Homo-oligomer: A and B are copies of this chain.
Amino acid sequence: MNRIITLTTDFGVGDGYVGTMKGVILSINPQATIVDITHEIAPQNIEQGAFLFASSYKYFPANTIHVVVVDPGVGGARRPIAIQNGETLFVGPDNGILPMAIWGRPVLDDATVHESLPWAAGRPPRMARMGNLPFLSFTAIVHLNNPAYWLPTVSNTFHGRDIFAPCAAHLSLGVPIQALGDPIRQLTRVGPVPNVRRLTDKALGRVIHIDHFGNVITNITEQALSGLDRERIVVEVGGKQLTGLKRTYSDVGSGQPLALVGSAGHVEIALRNGNAARELGIRMGDGVVVSVAG
């Protein structure tokens, strides 16, 4: 059965781990079309993983099966899960990447986190839980605890091979998600809440990805800028200030830095014909302030 399965991991491609997962999938469904999204997510970086995966998976056909494995907790208590959202299926560990990538994350200030999101109220942000919230339009979330769809032997350290790949392959053959395990009502979020703070006249965020070209991508989306005068916007990061949001790299001279809204809809800092992160000394996690010139 010809169905697309994508793979997104922090495995790298040098060790054969990804090739092995493909072998497992093709052993179950030789007709599957397997596509790599990326295998270079920083180990355990849930926020970067959610950003990179979200920027890419929306461009695949709706009936694609997406396997996302960033899994520092492998072999421990965290659950393997599958999510069906409309026609699309997602498979991975229950650590927050999938809901962040599927349903986005609201632009919040600290007050809103604790006032409007029932699941966050009264809990420390690092262990917030996402419940069956009204804005979540999923069809089903399942705990992948039916061993009939795993490999016969399951290791303690490579569930990508032993659980996620075979479950995805069985889904690609048309097995209904409900067969793969028990329903789940509460997803777990691991790691810090990646909130952007939107104040009246500014947005506060941070650097969540630096790409191959040295472009610096922040967690501040275009929507988070609504109401700010784009001509007078000032982006501050790593002690540098950039004024105005440009359209594209060639809007400035060679070697000049610029801020723009990148192709994934996030505020980005670039350097024409150069590496912005290196030249400007910006690193993952650095704070970013978008304000309006007085």
A residues near B (Cβ < 8 Å) are: 2, 4, 6, 8, 10-20, 22-24, 26-27, 30, 33-40, 43-44, 52-53, 55-61, 64, 72-77, 155-158, 161-162, 209, 211-213, 247-251, 260, 262-263, 273
Q: How far is the CB of A23 from chain B (nearest CB, A)?
A: 4
Q: Which residues of B contact A247 (CB under 8 A)?
A: 75, 156
Q: Give Cα A260–Cα B33 distance, bound, in whole angstroms.
A: 34
How many copies of this chain does one complex carry? 3
Given known A13-B36, A158-B263, A263-B161, contact A75–B26 (CB-CB < 8 A): no
Tell me if B263 and A15 are in contact (CB < 8 A).
no
Tell me if A59 and B161 are in contact (CB < 8 A).
yes
Tell me if A157 and B260 are in contact (CB < 8 A).
yes
Q: Which residues of B contact A19 (CB under 8 A)?
A: 6, 8, 35-38, 56
Q: Give Cα A74–Cα B74 distance, bound, in whole angstroms.
A: 41
Tell me if A23 and B249 are in contact (CB < 8 A).
no
Tell me if B35 and A13 are in contact (CB < 8 A).
no
A-B contact pairs, 23 of them (CB 8 A): A4-B26, A8-B19, A12-B212, A13-B40, A15-B52, A16-B37, A16-B53, A16-B55, A19-B56, A20-B55, A20-B59, A22-B35, A23-B57, A24-B59, A26-B60, A72-B273, A75-B249, A77-B250, A155-B262, A156-B247, A156-B248, A157-B263, A162-B263
Tell me if A74 and B23 are in contact (CB < 8 A).
no
Q: Give Cα A22–Cα B16 distance, bound, in whole angstroms.
A: 18
Q: Give Cα A30–Cα B4 distance, bound, in whole angstroms.
A: 8
Contact of A75 among B11, B24, B158, B248 (CB under 8 A): B248
Q: Give Cα A77–Cα B251 distance, bound, in whole angstroms.
A: 11
Q: How far is the CB of A256 from chain B (nearest CB, A)?
A: 13
- The listed residue with most B CB atoms (<10 A of its CB), out of A30, A38, A44, A59, is A59
Tell me if B15 and A59 are in contact (CB < 8 A).
no
Q: Which 9 A-B pairs have the closest CB atoms?
A: A75-B248, A12-B212, A14-B40, A76-B250, A158-B263, A19-B37, A23-B59, A156-B248, A23-B60
